Amino acid sequence: MQPFFKGKENFIVSVTILGIESSCDDTSAAVLRDTVLLSNVIASQRVHEAYGGVVPELASRAHQQNIVPVVSEAIRQAGIDRKDIDAIAFTRGPGLPGSLHVGTSFAKGLALALDIPLVDVNHLHGHVLSHFVKEAPDAEVPGFPYLCLLISGGNSQIIKVNGPREMEVLGQTIDDAAGEAFDKCAKVMGLPYPGGPVIDRLAAEGNAKAFKFAKPHVDGYNYSFSGLKTSFLYTLRDALKENPNFIEENKADLAASLQRTIIEILMDKFGRAIKDTGIKTIAIGGGVSANSGMRAAVEDYARRHRLKAFIPKRVFTTDNAAMIAIAGHYKFLNKEFCDITAPPFQRVII
Ligand code: KG4
pLDDT in tens, the chain (350 residues): 444 444 444 555 799 999 999 999 999 999 999 999 999 999 988 888 778 788 899 999 999 999 999 999 999 999 999 999 999 999 999 999 999 999 999 999 999 999 999 999 999 999 999 999 999 999 999 999 999 999 998 899 999 999 999 999 999 999 999 999 999 999 999 999 899 999 999 999 999 999 999 999 999 999 999 999 999 999 999 999 999 999 999 999 999 999 999 999 999 999 999 999 999 999 999 999 999 999 999 999 999 999 999 999 999 999 999 999 999 999 999 999 999 999 999 776 55
CB of 152 closer than 6 A to ligand 1?
Answer: yes
Q: Which residues pair with 122 in a beta bridge?
A: 93
Cis omega before residue 145 (within 30°)?
yes
pTM above 0.85, yes or no: yes
CB of 318 closer than 6 A to ligand 1?
Answer: yes
CB of 263 closer than 6 A to ligand 1?
Answer: no
- Rounded distance, CA 310 to CA 295, Å? 10
Q: First and final CA of the chain: distance in angstroms?
A: 28
* Centre of ligand 1 from the C-alpha of residue 301, in Å: 22
- Rounded distance, CA 291 to CA 52, Å? 20
Contacts of 157 (CB under 8 A, 6+ apart): 124, 149, 150, 169, 171, 172, 173
CB of 286 closer than 6 A to ligand 1?
Answer: yes
Residue nearest to ligand 1 atom 20, measured at CA = 197
Element at 193 (helix H, strand E): none
* Centre of ligand 1 from the C-alpha of residue 182, in Å: 8
